[in-house]
Structure 1
Amino acid sequence: MINQVYRLVSPRQFEVAYKDRSLKSEEDFVVIRPTHLSICAADQRYYTGSRGKEALAKKLPMALVHEGIGKVVYDPKGQFKVGTSVVMIPNTPVEKDEVIGENYLRSSKFRSSGYDGLMQDYVFMGRDRIVELPENIDPDVAAFIELMTIATHVLSRFSTRSHKRRQVFGVWGDGNLGYITSLFLKKMYKDSKVYIFGKTGYKLDNFSFVDEVYLIDDIPADLRIDHAFECVGGIGSQYAIDQMIDHLHPEGSISLMGVSEFPVEINTRMVLEKGITLIGSSRSGREDFVQTVNFLRENPEVVDYLGTLVGEVQEVKTISDILTAFEKDLTSSWGKTVMEWKI
């Protein structure tokens, strides 16, 4: 079959590429028709060209988007029924390691980061790279399950790497990831308090489920937390980490989640004096997707809260519609932009 792939060839320019795939030789793959795709900040860095000339020259042309769901259209082994809704896992490992997770293996491939993402007519997925979705889940919310798995993965690493006193959590960052992380913390640690720290008042107004809300320039000097989660990214993470170190009890942990294009400074003197544990996390693997889907199935009220993050929803039938979706996302001040993929 001839599959159409919608690739970014240069900043703000998409073109259609045609790839021939033989269904007879694809027994280990399941063919998925994307239905809802979510635009990520990483996609925007490619789209706007802010990744830099060297990175763009190395990775383009490339189909963008690694957050999305779709329906099964063909499974040669019959494991998945045609029409089954699934979330697609962008991380694609080519080996296994007894110690290193699939998302940390340097050999693993990742869709929309050097390899074609989900902006295709049909996506050929390894059968272990899809997870069946609960019935009747809001597809606009399900579109960014991949982002939720980042929080799931971080909390899994936190649970095994931090001490057991977990009375008060602090989350820095009032964006999408900060919202998801705060919500998951509140649901998973019901007896603990969750404080959110941000710089934008109207964004913080959405965090109705947390125990306390603080503007970063108005934090009480005597406020203390047991563990912190950094969801800021960029150069702003430097200042967030500095505040976390100040307000952490000794031997607390900081889970680093935000991505920065440039090195940031960390006050190692106080990290040493307080015995603080820094926990780095990136991306996620299959187990994180399974856990996240099960979590959403068991906590439907969480899906309702996550609906707050659905910002723009753009129907996509043409390349022009793709451009419109990306441009809308650039000007959106809150939430995720979802593409209803009907091209």
Structure 2
Amino acid sequence: MINTVYQLVAPRRFEIKYSDIDLNNNKVIVRPTYLSICNADQRYYQGLRDAEILRKKLPMALIHEAIGEVVRDPSGNFKTGELVVMVPNTPVEEDDIIAENYLRSSKFRASGFDGFMQEYVEITPDRLVRLPQDIDRTVAAFTEIVSVSVHAIGRFDKIAHKRRNVIGIWGDGNLGYITAVFFKTMFPETKLYIFGVNPDKLQDFTFADATFTVEHIPEDVKIDHAFECVGGAGSGKAINQIIDYINPEGTISILGVSEYPVPINTRMVLEKGLRIFGSSRSGVADFEKTVALYKSNPEIINYLSNIVGAVVPVRTIEDMKKAFEMDIQKAFGKTIMMWDK
């Protein structure tokens, strides 16, 4: 079976590659239907990664946030036409201590091998999670980034001490919003404060107990634990501000990705006895928990629909470029490609 793969071969340049899918193995064939553009995809598309990394990684099909319909499953786990979310993390070993998304041997789609910008995806059944057929598919498309937040909140619950009167989330972008939605769902009795830079974006956090711009935080504000969802050049400032406002022995969960080392105030980390931990990517269990939360708390889908930005029908390479260029210009939200291949 011939498959069409749409690879990024150089910044802002996609080309078609044809590959052969072996129908004699036990892998599932999925047709991608809705794909979500992530900041990591944009760093490759715009050539913002280190030149040596680009040389090693490209050519490569982008996108690790996607859903699709099952075309064929010889294992019998899924029926033809079923809606599934595809898990990009692909472990090659198991470890009793280290989760699949932290094993250095694990592969990750759109970061080392082809992502979901393909006509068909060949994937093992254990990398698929069944979705409700009636789910909003533009929201379901970015389940991967949602599962990262769910994963981080789960780790927080295991690591942080039990005094959780007030939790702070730094970051008013997509990651901050998603983390806030799920934290409030999972810990409804805990007060949730949001710290951001854009007053208009902060207005979208209607479920939070309070919002603050980072330039105007009252001196008497104190938090027990915090999540950093800023990333990039603002990571350092956000982490250091958290260190200033967090109570002693609090826990800081870092989710924001920065391309460069970030200086932090280690003196106050020591004086306050703080715990800092990072979370990245997710595994099948996190996807399953995320979908379970979708089902048990349908209001989550309504909240997440607020960050669906442009929905771009994609049939050609020019359509793909259009979607990525539109995504660069967005002020907020997720750009979704409605994949008609």
Equivalence for 1:211: 209
Any stretches of 5+ residues in structure 1 without a counterpart? none
Question: Aligned equivalents of 2:237 and 2:77: distance in 1?
Answer: 49
Task: Report 1:128-167 matches (<5 A).
Answer: 128-167=126-165
Once residues 6 and 52 of structure 2 are traced to their aligned partners in structure 1, the CA distance between those partners, rounded to angstroms, is: 22
Q: Write out per-residue CA displacement over residues 174-227 of structure 1, whole angstroms, 9 at most, x where no aligned residue.
A: 000000111111111111110000001111111111110100000011110010
Report SS of the residue matched to 1:36: strand
Q: Give, in angstroms, the shift of residue 148 of structure 1.
A: 0.3
Q: CA RMSD in A?
A: 0.6
Q: Distance in 2 between matches of 1:77 and 1:268?
A: 52
From 164, 170, 191, the counterpart of 1:172: 170
Amino acid aligned to 1:3? N
Measure the CA separation in 2 of the matches of 1:166 and 1:68: 34
2:265 equivalent in structure 1 = 267
What is the 5 A alignment of 1:317-336? 317-336=315-334
Alpha-carbon distance between aligned partners in 1 of 2:210 and 2:221, rounded to the nearest angstrom: 11
Aligned equivalents of 2:235 and 2:208: distance in 1? 21
2:17 equivalent to 1:17: yes
Deviation at 1:98, TM superposition (A): 0.5
Give yes or no for contact 2:225–2:252 (8 Å, CA) kept in 1.
yes
Q: 1:50 aligns with which of 48, 51, 58?
A: 48
Residue identity opposite 1:210 in structure 2 = A
Asked if structure 1 preserves the Cα contact closer than 8 Å seen for 2:21 and 2:122, the reply is: no
What CA distance in whole angstroms lies between the structure 1 residues aligned with 2:120 and 2:34?
A: 13
The one-letter amino acid paired with 2:273 is: G
Q: 2 CA distance for matches of 1:79 and 1:302?
A: 27
* Aligned-partner residue type, residue 196 of structure 1: I
- SS of the aligned residue for 2:237 comes to helix
Q: Are the equivalent residues in 1 in contact too, given 2:82–2:133 (CA < 8 A)?
A: no
1:317-336 Cα offsets, whole Å, 9 max, x none, are: 11100000000000010100
1:233 aligns with 2:228: no
Distance of 1:183 and 1:79 partners within structure 2 = 32
Q: Give the residue type in structure 2 aligned to 1:173.
A: G
1:52: Cα distance to partner? 2.3
Instruction: Name 2:99's counterpart in structure 1.
Output: 101
Q: Secondary structure at the match of 1:225?
A: coil
Q: Distance in 1 between matches of 2:108 and 2:273?
A: 35
Of all paired residues, the percent bearing the same amino acid is 57
Point out 4+ residue stretches in structure 1 off by more than 3 angstroms: none
